[in-house]
Amino acid sequence: MRLSLLLRRLPRPRLLARRIEHLPGIDLRHGVFHLAHPGPEAAGHLGDALGAEQQREDAHEDDDLPDPEAERHPLIVAATGAAAASVPVRSENMEIPGFVDVHSHVVPSGDDGATSIEQGLELCRLAFEAGTRVLFATPHAHAAWDTYPRTPARERIFAAAYPTMRDTVATWGLDLRRGWEVYPSVIADSDPFELRLEGTNAVLVEFPGWWLDVADAIPLVTAACERIEAVGLVPVLAHPERCPAVSHAPELVAPLAERGWPLCLNAPSLLGEHGVISERTAWRLLDDGVISLAASDAHRFERPPTLDRAFLEVERRYGRDRALPLFDGSALRIDA
């Protein structure tokens, strides 16, 4: 089992962080722990720290108060270097194929995602080490009245970063592609072909979230999907579980799925990282069988581009045969 999985399952990860942050060979950068030299020595230090933490847990079995800092400081341990690249994501002792992540903000574009090439590359490294092999950078294309509309200035920021990042991560074996996360009303004034997920016939459409006061979210999304479909493309619907209209009435999205429009959960929603309402809605939509994909919607280190934990949780509940197609790109015919 990967160390990151093992550690993040522990209660009180912040306390554990304090125990291991001064150990030799462990480097803390941007809230992410990296193993400078993956190998027996580092593993030994971590094993000692984990054992000590487990003993502490055993001594406080009735103390189940959550660590209030855990949500704000998720603990990730990332091994760096060639040794790490060879560590596969494993499930029940079976190596799984690479993940395909169609939604992230890992390339700087002037939105609320990565702010530098260096930061973006660190995020890509986390994705790669957690098993992702195809990662789409999908900057926001907001409506003109919103925070991050698509502008020439933002396109220049992206264009200045993307080729360097793409070529760098390709040397690791990570296929970084471009796309957009498009607010539904933007579709009416755009050429959908310009907004495609690179190498596919799909356009990622943003389901309006709780942070927007949108009363007609589902008709708005439906109209955008119809326009995309009319030109021969496929709309992929991002994070329906974060839309209040869907949380209130999850059955309303079934007609969208029945029209062949893939619905794509945010994987962090499945882990409760977008709050209890999104978590409950995400699992309900999975239960209903209307979800085709899961993606990270990664923005930064607090919202990293990792899919491994969500995959394992879906697999635990539904089995591998049902979990894998949500994560391996097969829904969009993308090979990892």
**Residue 91 or residue 266: which is nearer to Fe ion going by CB?**
266
Q: How far apart are CA 330 and CA 247, in angstroms?
A: 27
Q: For the CB of residue 277, give the shortest distance to Fe ion in the complex, in Å.
A: 18
Site for Fe ion, rule CB under 5 A? 181, 297
Alpha-carbon gap, residue 316 to 333, rounded angstroms: 24
Taking the least distance from each CB to Fe ion, the nearer of 84 and 291 is: 291
Q: Give 175 or 181: the residue with its C-beta nearer to Fe ion.
A: 181
* Closest CB 105 distance from Fe ion, rounded Å: 6
* Of 101 and 297, CB closest to Fe ion: 297
DSSP secondary structure, 85-126, as one string: HT---EETTEE-PPEEE--B--S-SSSSS--SHHHHHHHHHH
**Whether 15 contacts 36, CB under 8 Å:** no
In the bound complex, what is the minimum distance in angstroms from residue 172's beta carbon to Fe ion?
A: 23
226 Cβ contact list (under 8 Å, min separation 6): none
Residue 262 Cβ vs Fe ion, minimum distance, rounded to whole Å: 16
Half-sphere exposure of 268 (CA within 13 A, CB side): 19
In 3D space, the residue among 36, 33, 38, 39 whose CA is nearest the CA of residue 16 turns out to be 33
Residue closest to Fe ion (Cβ)? 297
Closest by CA position to 139, among listed 112, 168, 171: 112
Contact 257, 288 (CB under 8 A): no
Of 104 and 222, CB closest to Fe ion = 104
Strands 26-29, 32-35: pairing is: antiparallel
Task: Report in angstroms how near the CB of residue 266 gets to Fe ion at its nearest.
Answer: 8
Least distance to Fe ion from the beta carbon of 229, Å?
Answer: 22
- Of the two residues 175 and 297, which places its CB atom closer to Fe ion in the complex? 297
